[in-house]
Amino acid sequence: MHQINKWEQAVRLKQNPLTSRNFPETEVFSEDVLQEFLNRSSFVYVKPIGGREGKGVIRISKNSNGIYSINGYTNTGSKMDKECFNMEEVLTFLYSNHIQKSLPNYIIQQGISSFTADGQALGVRVHIQYVKDQWVLGGMLGKLGNQEDGIVNRNRGARALPIRELLLLHLHMNQQEARVVEEKIELLCLEAGRVFHAEHDWLKECGIDIGIDPSGEVWIFEVNMRPSIKFFYHLEDKSVVNQIKKNRLNRK
């Protein structure tokens, strides 16, 4: 089955002038890289190169007292919460529970704060489609998570809401600011589609997870090459999911 793993995604997105500015710093996992990232960022994400549905994704943070917190999910989807008092404990925990030390099967990604004013993790899911020789927007929705780990995934309890509602009510933007953000998200995601399609012409649809930092800047967190549209059915307004289905018919 066709797929583009997270490391290849990172390499391709970093090579493109437009997407590179809005994609978090990402490297293949190693002990040195983990330490280096945590010296520069308050938290990072460690992700399996080929994972889906939020499985295997963990957040590692370090507070002002030097205590590390590990939150997230095992590769089977079980919740993970652990406090460690030094990096040696962190690595011991990861190697015993999560990461195969001998294989480069995980990436480390710079943590980007994407939260509402009251501390709820937020995100945007964007569905793009390749129709009649061009990438088009199928639809987008807002996501609110219920987990402190910042992982905003339908399979991890996130809820869907209209994108405009997310921007206006939860990020307190005005209508003009919201329109600008939506337009930027659309342009960024369509460019990501073109980046991958240039080398993978089998690719017809992408589900792209977007974060929005406190300054209102948007970030590509992840691109799913086998996207489900189930989350769009959670919206009361069915026009978005209907547009996605219409685009699929127009492709034939």
Q: What is the pLDDT of residue 221?
A: 94
Task: Give whole-number Cα distances, 51 to 55, 67, 80, 237, in Å.
Answer: 6, 28, 16, 30
User: d(Cα 210, Cα 215) in Å, to the nearest integer?
Assistant: 14
**Mean pLDDT lowest for which of 34-48, 64-78, 122-136?**
64-78
Going by pLDDT thresholds of 50, 70 and 90, the confidence category of residue 79 is confident
Q: Which residue type is seen at 171? A: L
At 184, give phi and psi (nearest 5°). -65, -40
pLDDT tens profile 203-217: 999 999 999 999 999
Closest CA to 150 of 91, 50, 64, 73: 73
Q: What is the pLDDT of residue 73?
A: 80
Mean pLDDT, residues 2-28 taken together: 93
